[in-house]
Amino acid sequence: MILAIETSCDDTCAAVVTRDGEIRSNVVSSQGVHARFGGVVPEWASRHHLELVNLVVDQAMEGSDWDDVEAVAVTQGPGLVGALLIGVATAKGLAASRRLPLIPVNHLQGHVAANFLGGFEPPFLCLVASGGHTFLARVTDHAGYETLGQTLDDAAGEAFDKGARLLGLGYPGGPALSKLALEGDPTAFKFPTAAKVAGYDFSFAGLKTALLYKVRELGDDAQRLKADLAASYEHAIVEALILRITRALEHEADPRIAIGGGVAANRLLRERAQSLGVPVHVPPHALCTDNAAMIASAARYLEPTPYPDYLALDAYATKRA
């Protein structure tokens, strides 16, 4: 079994997963404290991880025996570096005290590997869209992937959150905006999908600005037309995501898609993906949002670092190739 820890953002996560991908536990403790600030406060996130991480690990280990744990896996990056460091230090401590190997995992590889837990095997195209990242990858084996494109500015979830904030819908805004969109007309307003950005890269900054200008232009009418604004805005985000997927699908001999990250919960995105006429895999919601089971899943295919070689291991904040 592998015990994995994930603390790259505001969720404190630990999971126990067997070598063949059976999830024994998958514990996520979300920090509700950030909602009133309308976003994650990094220093608060670190402090909460410190308070929660041992409890979360104990809970994940309930019913499992340490003697059966063959390695400790941990998210090394990218993410909030202070938050990551809590996970890395905890994982090192747990592994070193038992002379176990450590498996450092890239968070983005984790999102990709969430699909392997559902038995969805490479090759496939994988869209990961969350509050922190948005990228399209070609997955040809279990231990890596080729990044086809990524966002040049905001993540798709961030675009949902910022749009929701402009419409006065609270944080995180994706679910609220999506709910309001059900009552609106997606063709009422035309928002940009950055179609001119060639290839597979995404850009959502222009979209957010377009919504801001439209709300200002409408003045008092914006409130009355809120559902139409939400529906049109959601439509633009989803079409922007779908556009890059369809561009990439054209070059696939065996076209299949997986979708992960918090935005995979979006009803319209799922519907649109399912209408493309190729097999689509969306992991259960708990494996789409940040969790440690996906980190353990990725770790199964990576080389463990033996004790004590990992003691100097550091976290990294930014994306690595």
* Residues at the contact surface with ligand KG4, assessed by CB under 6 A: 9, 130-132, 157-158, 160-161, 172-175, 178, 261-263, 265-266, 289-290
290 binds Zn ion (CB under 5 A): yes
What's the CA gap between 211 and 206, in Å, rounded? 9
Judged by beta carbon, residue 92 or residue 111, the one nearer Zn ion is 111
User: Does the annotation list 111 as a binding residue?
Assistant: yes
CA distances from 244 to 88, 130, 240, 279 (A): 34, 16, 7, 17
User: Does the annotation list 68 as a binding residue?
Assistant: no
130 binds Zn ion (CB under 5 A): yes
Judged by beta carbon, residue 75 or residue 232, the one nearer Zn ion is 75
Judged by beta carbon, residue 90 or residue 266, the one nearer ligand KG4 is 266
Specify the stretch interacting with Zn ion by CB under 5 A; choose among 53-61, 228-236, 285-293, 303-311.
Answer: 285-293
Per the CB < 8 A criterion, the answer to whether 9 and 45 are in contact is yes
154 binds Zn ion (CB under 5 A): no
109 binds Zn ion (CB under 5 A): no
Residue type, 160: F
Residue 236 DSSP SS3: helix
To ligand KG4, the closest distance from the beta carbon of 146 in angstroms equals: 22
234 binds Zn ion (CB under 5 A): no
Judged by beta carbon, residue 94 or residue 112, the one nearer Zn ion is 112
Residues annotated in the binding site for substrate, as ranges?
A: 128-132, 161, 174, 266
Binding site, by residue number, is: 107, 111, 128-132, 161, 174, 266, 290
List interacting residues with Zn ion (CB under 5 A).
130, 290
